[in-house]
A and B are shown apart, each in its own frame.
Chain A
Amino acid sequence: MTTDHALLGLATIMYLGLFFVHILYFTWQKKALLSFAQYALYGTVIVQAAGMAMRWALSYRLGIGHVPLSNYYESLIFFSWSISVFMICMRKRSLYPVITFIAAGISLLLMAYASLSSGVEKGIQPLIPALQSNWLHIHVITCFLGYAAFVVSFICGVLYFFRPGKIVPTRESLESINYRSIIIGFSMLTSGILTGAVWAHFAWGSYWSWDPKETWSLITWIIYALVLHLRFTGGLKGRRIAILSIAGFASVIMTYFGVNFFLVGLHSYAT
């Protein structure tokens, strides 16, 4: 086992720990557990970043040096990391333990899937010529930060249907966090689509080819654009916005996972 896999394995275990610390907090309601969870989250993010950095360094030792953002395995790890980074950034804005709890669970699932599924190639592969571009970094980073923000929006959408109380925050707070996440996610997704289009212009000779991944990212973009317009101009609130954020996230899932499995296209190297 190489160092990068060891570190990423450790990060997975730390996510598991984080998950259980939250459960302990919900049962005992001890403030100390919560601040412990907060430091644990920082630690996990650092360990996971170190794992990715090791992988990066290792790729150079193999003579095929590239940023670890080039295949499905690496994207899963980066996705789970982005969610935690987003958690930390939102922290200042009074994020609720139940949200970090579910987010840690999702990060854990992503990491476990990445390392346990036999269908995910875990080796460091050389970059095919089309991926050898500086647009790769900005495109992948913006897309996944967007996805991470939509994860939070989805969590808020789901929590909306639970009775507010000790664990579940008030509906007003959920709506406000949901709305903020959608704004960040939408801006990031737009940046991701636009950087992707500029890259496609240089690599494929066309900024838009209606490739399934492009098409689904547009569908996702339209859904969140509708959410924003319905909220602002239609004054839509509450349940409907919550349902729409869940629908939007379903489209994100389709854009990221579904397209790879059900449809073929130019983005095939992402599988």
Chain B
Amino acid sequence: MTVIKSSKKGGGPVFRGIPAFRFLTSVRLTITTLSLIAATSIVGSLVEQGASEEEYLSHYSERAYHFIKLFGLDDAYHSPWFYFLVVIFAINLFLCTVHRLKRLSAAKGRQVPDLAALVSSGAGFITGSANKSEVVRRIGPAYKRERVTETTEVFEKGRFSRYGVIIIHTSVLMVLIGGLVGNISGFKAYLALRPGEGASAAESRTPGRSAVVFGFAVKCTDFRVSMYPSGQPKEYASDIEILDEKGNVLKRGRIRVNEPLSYKGIYFYQSSYGRSNVYTFKADGRTVDIGDREIVRDTKVPFMVVRYAEDVHNFGPGVMVAYMDGDEPKTLWFLKNVEKMRKHVVKGSRIALENINGQYYTGLEVSRDPGVPAVLCGFVMMLIGLYTNFFTSYRRIYVAHGTDAIIVAGIASRNKEGFIEDMKRIGEGLP
């Protein structure tokens, strides 16, 4: 990494002479942007994200709220200036990496370091020329042998270690690109289904965005939940079918928490469950099942259930039904267990409440994120890069010939203490 430091002094390729480029490739910029990203994250974790105006005003003064809104702190991680920081960081990282790669590939014609200084620092020794073959034997076959100058040979190991930083930096870029792709062309949505119900679109999680259309239908055929004796949920699972427009089953499967199901890049996750009621009405001789706020349209006047009460004035369960009388909304109570209150004639339609049935519904998180492969690939690269950079070492051992003695001295990029020990081992007992 000292490469970048030295480049700050103005060396390197021609384009670095341009001030803007020098600025964009500077480590100072990396440190500034990273610090600002961290600072934004701190603010974002302290200020509640995505809450409503009322919620903010209950915690903060009006002035503070204006400040929050002005800088987009209520959605800090999606605010324009946070994106700006990330983009600057990405450009900086990209240019630094390219620059570094260039320096590495240009480093072929390398110079021999000051071997005498290395010897005095303990990373080398001087011995008679006769011992050369013994030294070479002790260095071992793991090192690649190469001639640098007339009198000097170099033994190298772990050259790849130098690429660790490049791998890590590229992996960070890949994760950022994957994140960007997911942000632009992915979606997050939520869907609640009762067993037997289907849907071909879901409500978007992003406020203000329209519903997400799948291009196929998803149907929940069964939902089951099991509990621990303590009453906490142990496992819940939904049986799901993917259907085309004609109703043909394209895919079938069970989803559990931690085990999603995917079809054409759209993932369905088991995220929650709950109970809701199904109301059975007989309207003009036909039986209809509806849920809360679902509208029955095939009667003379459309109606829907707006409220459910477990016990209405000690008369048992009942529902409040709403309908339109001309322009005026009207409501009417239906009581399940009171024969007279069970049936009403509404604008000429005979409507009777037949049954109220409590039923589970499954809550599904639906998402599409084409950036995931790039992100996962970035993760793997990052781990490989970390290992290569921090836990492997680039070692060079120089063997230089004098008239009747040889100098053996070397450099290691990591674990210098271990390297010095190894050098001592190589030189042990040699006159």
Contacts from A to B (Cβ < 8 Å) = 64, 125-126, 128-130, 132-133, 183, 186-187, 190-191, 194, 197-199, 201-208, 210, 212, 215-216, 218-219, 222-223, 225-226, 229-230, 232-235, 259, 263
Contacts and interface: CB of A to CB of B under 8 A. Distances in A.
Interface in B10-52: 27, 30-31, 34-35, 37-38, 41-42, 44-46, 49
Contacts of A229: 1, 27, 30-31
B259 A226 contact: no
Nearest to B414: A183
Nearest to A64: B228
29 contacts: A126-B232, A129-B234, A187-B387, A187-B391, A190-B383, A190-B386, A194-B383, A197-B375, A197-B379, A198-B376, A199-B258, A203-B269, A205-B188, A205-B269, A206-B367, A215-B41, A216-B41, A216-B45, A219-B41, A219-B45, A222-B38, A225-B34, A229-B27, A229-B30, A232-B1, A233-B1, A233-B2, A263-B45, A263-B46
Contacts of B356: none
Contact of B271 (A133, A194, A205, A215): A205
B256 A129 contact: yes
Interface string B212-231: 00000000000000001010
A129 B41 CA distance: 29
Contacts of B366: 205
Contact of B38 (A126, A223, A232, A263): A223
Interface string B73-89: 00001000000000000
Interface string B315-333: 0000000000000000000
Given A186-B386, A229-B1, A259-B45, 16 more contacts: A64-B228, A126-B230, A126-B234, A128-B233, A129-B235, A129-B236, A183-B390, A191-B383, A202-B260, A203-B269, A206-B369, A207-B372, A215-B45, A216-B45, A222-B38, A263-B45
B45 to A, nearest CB: 4
B77 A233 contact: no
A2 B171 CA distance: 48
Contact of B2 (A126, A225, A232): A232
A129 B258 contact: yes
Interface centre among A125, A205, A210, A216 (most CB of B within 10 A): A205
B30 A204 contact: no
A198 B271 contact: no
B179 A208 contact: yes
Contacts of A219: 38, 41-42, 45
Binding site secondary structure of chain A: helix
A130 B258 contact: yes
Please tell me the size bucket of the interface on B.
Answer: 35 or more
B267 interface: yes
A132 B367 contact: no
B233 A205 contact: no
Contacts of A198: 376, 379
Nearest to B27: A233
Given A126-B234, A216-B45, A234 B258 contact: no
Interface string B368-403: 010010011001001100110011000000000000
B95 interface: no
The 6 closest A-B pairs by CB, nearest first: A232-B1, A129-B257, A205-B269, A205-B365, A222-B38, A126-B228
Contacts of B35: 222, 226
A205 B257 contact: no
B325 to A, nearest CB: 44
B45 A205 contact: no
Contacts of A132: 235, 257-258
Interface in B292-349: none
A199 B258 CA distance: 8
Contacts of A202: 258-260
Interface in B226-254: 228, 230, 232-236
Contacts of B372: 201, 207
A197 B82 CA distance: 21
B4 interface: yes
Contacts of B228: 64, 126
